[in-house]
Structure 1
Amino acid sequence: MTAVAGALGPAAQVPAPPGRRAALRTTGLLLGLVLLAVVVLASLAIGTRQIPLHDVWSALVSPSGTENDAIVRQLRLPRTLIGIAAGAALGLAGAVMQTLTRNPLADPGLLGVNAGASAAVVTAISLLGVESFDLYLWFALAGAALAAILVNLLGGSRAATPVRLALAGTAVNAALFGYVNGLQLVDLGTLETMRHWSVGTLAGRDADLLVKALPMLVAGMLLAFGLARPLGAMALGDDSARALGAHVGRTRVLSIAAITLLCGAATAVCGPIGFIGLMIPHAVRVFSGPDPRWLFPACALYAPVLMLASDVVGRVVVPPSEIEVGIVTAFLGGLLFIHLVRQRKVAQL
């Protein structure tokens, strides 16, 4: 636990009194609920066409068939719901990944999930002629699962260590993205189709995709929350975790399964959106601390805030065009990554 606290800076190493710590965590979660409500309203009201909040409310509770009603209910509401679900999944997957690997720079892509999903979708488009986003969902999920299984096997399966998992994930990522880029270069039709999926966006996604992916998202979240206690023990090191009664190998395998379900389903619906799983755990540790029992719910709450806020920013910076949410989060995540590396605190893990 000292190592994890060290990664968060000097202030994190001085434990707050239990009462103050509980109050800080509760306040942080309540603030997250307020921020989520604000960005949901912003997502429904702000865009190429600005819609007053009272019209948004009317469209939701008593639609009268106006154009504003159609925009809110048919375009922005599905987009917002997908952003909430995908954001929560990516944030939670990032928290599980960082806790599992004891690496503050880890995000779900480290397990090859994004690369596996992309490789499966590009194969479906180029070699199988698939053109339906509904089918992309299942190919992306299958590709994410196969990539995660491969990384786990290369990392040593139940005997895997955080370092071996990270190295195996890096190798699989490089190989799969090389395959994706190569297939797109030799098939321009695939390149044109993939660019609409691979950039990572909430625009143009049908709510039916979310309905189909929801069982996987819910299963991944339940599994992640159920692993909070043994993952907290593993943050002390494998030997200490075993002494505390945690099943290290089983916990690691189930954690990889949770990450695959969460990130695979989110990637299948929205395309690969990076850095949310990296940024949010760092941000919420300010009040949640490193304990996964508090960290995981906080990440699941604040990640949709970042996702929707980034989506709203992308709508308004270059009107009437939009910047995809994946580009906005990549820009923000790149700045955070540079900040973390410059502080050199990651070396303390």
Structure 2
Amino acid sequence: MNGKSSANTASIGMTWRLIGIFGGGIAALFVLFIVSLGFGEANIPAATVVEGLLHRRDVMEHNLLWGIRMPRTVIGILAGAALAAAGALLQTITKNPLAASDTLGINAGAYFMVVLGMVAFPALQQQFPFLLAVVGGLLAALVAYLLGGGRASTPVRLALSGMIVSMVLGAFTSALHIFNQTKTQNLFLWGAGSLIQLDWDGVVFAWPFVLALLVAAIFLGRQFDMLELDESTARSLGQRVGLARAVGLGMSVLLAAIVVSVVGPIGFVGLVAPHLVRLSGIRKHRLLIPASALWGALLITAADTLARMVRSNVGEMPVGAVMAIIGAPWLIWLVLTKVKNISGSGEGQSSMSIGGAAAKRVRFVPLALFMAVLLLVTIIVSMSFGGTRIPVSELLAGITGGGEQKYSVLMNIRLPRTLVAAAAGIALAVSGVLIQSAVRNPLADASIIGVTSGAGFCAMIAMVIWPGLTIVAVPFAAIAGGIIAAAFVFFLAWRKALNPSVLILLGIAISAIGSAGIQVMIVKASLWSNSSYIWLTGSTYGRSWNQLYTLLLFLLVLLPLAYYLGRKFDLLAFGDESSTGFGLEVRGTRLFAMILGVLLAAGAVACVGTIGFLGLMAPHAVRMMIGHHTRRSIVLSGLLGGLLLVLADTVGRTVMAPTEIPSGLFITLIGAPYFLFLMYRSLARRG
């Protein structure tokens, strides 16, 4: 009897949960639907909205309702449903609670291909607006999935792989924007995620695809249920696991690509909505997929309504930015409350092996001397290149004061610029060494833990609010933003003993908030044609002695401290228990390494903008030569980072003179393929 009673109680409980999920969701969506139709530049009373829906007349309010507001609200419902269903499928396919179209790079891949199509294949893009988005999203998802380890991937590794793929594609997209401003300017608002519709064309295009894919996913629900089981068990039950995964991945990519091709990349919907539904106890995909679609539609409608209700002096926020502000706290909560399920046992404890085990050991002293001399020679040669060539002999005479006056003037411009590039490269590379040691993960740097996006967001605020004080305000704002972002990550992760996996995932969430803020500033303050956008990609253009003095202050104070504590940082690579056994205060040491790395990165960002991959690339290359040794890595990585950024500055101001390629963009175009190769090689070794 007790068994029957328990079963009845459980059945009644599930019934009420289903009523809450579906009934409550539909009711809330209906209310938001009416509210969404009423808010905008001109508010429409609810009674007028209902009247316009039931009895349309040829009056301004009804025409506005049906011509502008209704298409926007309907496309938001379709987009939310598609992204949420895609997220639910991806989480099942990868068995990863962090999987979604944005964390797997699908949105970034689709966005890149649409921008590329606008520049290189305008006819194809015009005729088949969603074909290129599908190709880009599918390729990005496959790359992220394979680099994350495929079926053997962990949540943290897959999230990092997706973020790296997104960073790579973001860099290429930025390059297209910079060099094709006229053609791509209209894509900036769309790229931030916008539901604005001027007619019904977007809805007419999207709804048949979305509806058909949702129905197909629900119909195949039992096959997707089997993927929750162990693979051998699923196969023994006659399930074709590989085919089910491929079909699910294809459906997910198609759903996300359709959305991106119409409203741009919108993140976090596919992460938040399926988790909300799963928290209610729903696991069967025939219920999970429609419930996720319902709550995804509700989320985007709520975000879009909120964006219109809360208007600032720069106008309405893009819905993609609003969803990032809503979704990032959800990711933070997920990490802090579900960390045991996310991190796994020992996650990240020995991950320094990626690119770290040296096939050849190179003697440290000769290598350091060689790299120092090479950096010095590169600096001298670099100053002779540019729009106006200066013979090296005249250059050296100008340095000593014996050259012609015109060369002396050029020296006052090129010398500080080149030295700033060298100093910033040193700071970013050493920052990468320290942060990777602290979190025991070679995929980490200032970009991963939120420092870069935080610094960029605060710098953009300074550029918008105090445009006349840009030279003075931007460095201080960038330093403050980087420190605030890192402090927030540390504060949240402190109760988890600064667990490396927790730090990285929290950094991803904070980076999303910072990036959303940057998108809002670019779109609403019209900064895409401004030097501000170039600054965001990382530029040494126009740098003077002031920036060099700032960087030298950071380097002279922080580098000796980092070198002195290098031996303690070495012990972090052994894991928490082993390090504690050696007498190391693990949490304090990790925190100190992170603080030094964050300050170095913030100082560099303040002076040269957001340059990615340098803090990832230089430490990897050094570990391949000498293995894991923090003090030696600090010296060699610093020299290599300075050398790489000086070379990037030289090539950037030479190959397309007088047009300049931003140094950060050039570093990314070099570093991204290199880093993807490292991840691929790591996967091959594990295989």
TM-score in terms of structure 2 length: 0.45
User: Aligned partners of 2:153, 2:287: CA distance in 1, in Å?
Assistant: 25
Partner of 1:187: 180
User: Aligned partners of 2:126, 2:26: CA distance in 1, in Å?
Assistant: 32
Partner of 1:335: 329
Q: What per-residue deviation string (whole Å, max 9, x for no partner) do you get for residues 95-118 of structure 1?
A: 111111111111112443212211
Is 1:314 aligned to 2:304, yes or no?
Answer: no
Q: 2:227 aligns with which of 217, 222, 234?
A: 234
Partner of 2:552: none
Are the equivalent residues in 2 in contact too, given 1:219–1:261 (CA < 8 A)? no
Partner of 1:249: 242
Q: 2:43 aligns with which of 50, 62, 67?
A: 50
Greater Cα shift, 273-282 or 98-107: 98-107
User: Aligned partners of 1:96, 1:138: CA distance in 2, in Å?
Assistant: 21
Offset of residue 322 of structure 1: 1.1
Is 1:163 aligned to 2:156, yes or no?
Answer: no
Offset of residue 87 of structure 1: 0.7
Offset of residue 39 of structure 1: 0.7
Is 1:117 aligned to 2:110, yes or no?
Answer: yes
Q: 1:347 aligns with which of 342, 345, 351?
A: 342
Are the equivalent residues in 2 in contact too, given 1:230–1:241 (CA < 8 A)? no
User: Aligned partners of 2:142, 2:342: CA distance in 1, in Å?
Assistant: 28
Q: What per-residue deviation string (whole Å, max 9, x for no partner) do you get for residues 197-223 of structure 1?
A: 101011135321221222321232123
Partner of 1:9: none
Are the equivalent residues in 2 in contact too, given 1:111–1:151 (CA < 8 A)? yes
Is 1:19 aligned to 2:9, yes or no?
Answer: no
Are the equivalent residues in 1 in contact too, given 2:192–2:266 (CA < 8 A)? yes
Partner of 1:40: 33
Question: SS in structure 1 opposite 2:280?
Answer: helix
> Aligned pair in 2 of structure 1 residues 331, 325: CA closer, same or farther (>3 Å)?
same
Offset of residue 339 of structure 1: 1.4
Q: What per-residue deviation string (whole Å, max 9, x for no partner) do you get for residues 182-241 of structure 1?
A: 222333234523212101011135321221222321232123223322222221221222
Corresponding letter in the other structure for 1:346: N
User: Aligned partners of 1:35, 1:57: CA distance in 2, in Å?
Assistant: 16
Question: SS in structure 1 opposite 2:93?
Answer: helix
Is 1:200 aligned to 2:187, yes or no?
Answer: no
Corresponding letter in the other structure for 1:341: V
Offset of residue 151 of structure 1: 5.7
> Aligned pair in 2 of structure 1 residues 62, 131: CA closer, same or farther (>3 Å)?
farther
Offset of residue 316 of structure 1: 1.4
Are the equivalent residues in 2 in contact too, given 1:25–1:288 (CA < 8 A)? no
User: Aligned partners of 2:252, 2:319: CA distance in 1, in Å?
Assistant: 21
State the percentage of identical aligned residues.
33
User: Aligned partners of 1:26, 1:118: CA distance in 2, in Å?
Assistant: 37
Offset of residue 91 of structure 1: 0.8
Is 1:69 aligned to 2:65, yes or no?
Answer: no
User: Aligned partners of 1:147, 1:220: CA distance in 2, in Å?
Assistant: 20
Offset of residue 341 of structure 1: 1.4
Question: SS in structure 1 opposite 2:153?
Answer: helix
> Aligned pair in 2 of structure 1 residues 127, 275: CA closer, same or farther (>3 Å)?
same
Offset of residue 314 of structure 1: 0.2
Partner of 2:599: none
Q: What per-residue deviation string (whole Å, max 9, x for no partner) do you get for residues 62-108 of structure 1?
A: 22211111111111011111011111001111111111111111111
Offset of residue 310 of structure 1: 0.5
User: Aligned partners of 2:104, 2:86: CA distance in 1, in Å?
Assistant: 11
Offset of residue 41 of structure 1: 0.6
Are the equivalent residues in 2 in contact too, given 1:114–1:267 (CA < 8 A)? yes
Q: What per-residue deviation string (whole Å, max 9, x for no partner) do you get for residues 1-42 of structure 1?
A: xxxxxxxxxxxxxx9723322332233211111011111111
Corresponding letter in the other structure for 2:18: R
Q: 2:290 aligns with which of 292, 297, 321?
A: 297
Unaligned runs of 5+ in 1: 1-14
Partner of 1:85: 78
Greater Cα shift, 253-262 or 198-207: 198-207
Offset of residue 153 of structure 1: 7.4
Greater Cα shift, 265-274 or 46-55: 46-55
Q: 2:87 aligns with which of 88, 94, 106?
A: 94
Greater Cα shift, 126-135 or 297-306: 126-135
User: Aligned partners of 1:153, 1:105: CA distance in 2, in Å?
Assistant: 16
User: Aligned partners of 2:239, 2:152: CA distance in 1, in Å?
Assistant: 16
Partner of 1:273: 266
Question: SS in structure 1 opposite 2:109?
Answer: helix
Tell which structure's C-alpha radius of gyration is larger: 2
The alignment yields a C-alpha RMSD, in angstroms, of 2.8
Are the equivalent residues in 2 in contact too, given 1:112–1:170 (CA < 8 A)? yes
User: Aligned partners of 2:152, 2:200: CA distance in 1, in Å?
Assistant: 37
User: Aligned partners of 2:284, 2:308: CA distance in 1, in Å?
Assistant: 36
> Aligned pair in 2 of structure 1 residues 348, 120: CA closer, same or farther (>3 Å)?
closer
User: Aligned partners of 2:202, 2:40: CA distance in 1, in Å?
Assistant: 22
Greater Cα shift, 16-25 or 254-263: 16-25
Offset of residue 53 of structure 1: 1.7
User: Aligned partners of 1:136, 1:94: CA distance in 2, in Å?
Assistant: 23
Q: 1:104 aligns with which of 74, 97, 109?
A: 97
Q: 1:173 aligns with which of 153, 166, 181?
A: 166
User: Aligned partners of 2:228, 2:307: CA distance in 1, in Å?
Assistant: 37
TM-score in terms of structure 1 length: 0.85
Are the equivalent residues in 2 in contact too, given 1:89–1:300 (CA < 8 A)? yes
Are the equivalent residues in 1 in contact too, given 2:112–2:136 (CA < 8 A)? yes
Unaligned runs of 5+ in 2: 1-7, 345-687
Offset of residue 269 of structure 1: 1.0
Q: 1:260 aligns with which of 253, 257, 278?
A: 253
User: Aligned partners of 1:100, 1:132: CA distance in 2, in Å?
Assistant: 30
User: Aligned partners of 1:65, 1:288: CA distance in 2, in Å?
Assistant: 48
Greater Cα shift, 133-142 or 185-194: 133-142
User: Aligned partners of 2:37, 2:191: CA distance in 1, in Å?
Assistant: 24
Corresponding letter in the other structure for 2:273: I
> Aligned pair in 2 of structure 1 residues 126, 171: CA closer, same or farther (>3 Å)?
same
Offset of residue 252 of structure 1: 0.5
Question: SS in structure 2 opposite 1:17?
Answer: helix
User: Aligned partners of 1:103, 1:271: CA distance in 2, in Å?
Assistant: 25
User: Aligned partners of 2:298, 2:334: CA distance in 1, in Å?
Assistant: 22
Are the equivalent residues in 1 in contact too, given 2:118–2:184 (CA < 8 A)? no
Are the equivalent residues in 1 in contact too, given 2:192–2:264 (CA < 8 A)? yes
Partner of 2:320: 326
User: Aligned partners of 2:162, 2:317: CA distance in 1, in Å?
Assistant: 29
User: Aligned partners of 1:271, 1:119: CA distance in 2, in Å?
Assistant: 11
Question: SS in structure 2 opposite 1:161?
Answer: helix
Corresponding letter in the other structure for 1:144: G
